[in-house]
Amino acid sequence: MLPIINVDLDALLANEAPIILELGAAGKKDGRISIDHLNLPGVDIVANLEEGLSFLPDYSVDAIHSNSFLEHIDNLDLLMQEMWRVLKPTGKKHLFVPHFSNPYHYSDYTHKRFFGLYSFEYFSKSNYGFNRKVPQFYNDNSFVTESIKLVFKSPWKYRNKFRKKFGKLINSSKWLQEYYEENLCYVIPCYGIEVVLRPNKPFLHEIRK
């Protein structure tokens, strides 16, 4: 599938303004380039993200956002590598995905994969500080984990208030996050995970030396 580009991408890349991507976004957000596989109103680039971001050059993007999107991706390895490639060394990847204990996660038949507290540590060679370590040799292009937050909420008003207070406690330390996922996640399910990643890569001027 060839990308359909509804914006002047060359002009945007030549501009000094930050390049911010919104992946899987059917609705337009100010200041962001929205990318989706459907040619809906507000979508700037129509592309199959299973095939990566070949329409963007290396070191060209300042930030990438995705909200409840990565669980729909089959080839997550490729997309993570592509995000690493296009991000600047100071760039950030902001993401939200459903937690594996979220009962609503299983209702959506378009979801392809599960995510837990350690999922994105497989793409990192840095030490975020969790007691449990995961293999970090699957990927050559690694990220630095800047933050991981477990999100608790409910569509029911009073349960939602309790879960938000509970989430504040659980997120107060990495030890509590790990204890929660090992022992409590099926008692009080987690809604999702917010993660901020930064590519672990050199600056261009360091490569050219």
Give the model's confidence band at 1: pLDDT under 50 very low, under 70 low, under 90 confident, else very high: low
Mean pLDDT value across the chain: 91
Residue 90 vs residue 140, higher pLDDT:
90
Selection from 159, 147, 148 nearest residue 188 by Cα: 159
* Residue-level pLDDT at 209: 60
Domains along the sequence of the chain with CATH: 4-150+194-207 (3.40.50.150)
Give the model's confidence band at 206: pLDDT under 50 very low, under 70 low, under 90 confident, else very high: low
* Residue-level pLDDT at 30: 75
Selection from 1, 80, 77 nearest residue 46 by Cα: 1
Using CA of residue 126, residue 198, residue 176, residue 96, what is the dihedral sign? Answer: negative
Residue 127 vs residue 116, higher pLDDT:
116
Q: How far apart are CA 47 and CA 35, in angstroms?
A: 7
Considering the entire predicted model, what is its pTM?
0.91
Give the model's confidence band at 14: pLDDT under 50 very low, under 70 low, under 90 confident, else very high: confident
Mean pLDDT (whole number) for 179-206:
92
Calculated CA dihedral for residues 52, 8, 42, 95, nearest 10 degrees: 40
Mean pLDDT (whole number) for 75-103:
95
Mean pLDDT (whole number) for 171-182:
97
